[in-house]
Amino acid sequence: MFKFDILVIICILVQYEVDFIIADAAPIPIEAKLQYQDKYIKNLRYFKEKYATQQAYCVTYTKNQNQKYPAITQLYPWEIGKIVSGE
């Protein structure tokens, strides 16, 4: 059985999960969201800063043209191939 303090630490660690990671020369984090909103991509920003990744993606059905974080590339689901091809 877990102690309470260990559970709290585990919950804090899991707080910044991303949906997918492509393991290339450098890890590429990917979030899948129905709708892109800056407030919902804090996990991507955290991952990008912690692991100094050059690329981060949000796959979404609704892109936001006024995003605050242009370092996060928004893609429609049918554009996922661009991640692997490097477009």
Task: Encode pLDDT of 43-79 as tens digits.
Answer: 888 888 888 888 899 999 999 888 888 889 999 999 9
Beta bridge partners of 73: 57
pLDDT number for residue 5: 43
pTM value?
0.75
Tell me what the pLDDT averaged over the chain comes to. 78
> Using CA atoms, how far apart are residues 75 and 87, in angstroms rounded to an integer?
11
Which stretches does DSSP call E strand in the chain? 20-23, 27-35, 56-62, 72-75
Domain boundaries, the chain: 19-85
Strand-strand pairing, 27-35 and 72-75: unpaired
19-85: CATH number: 3.30.160
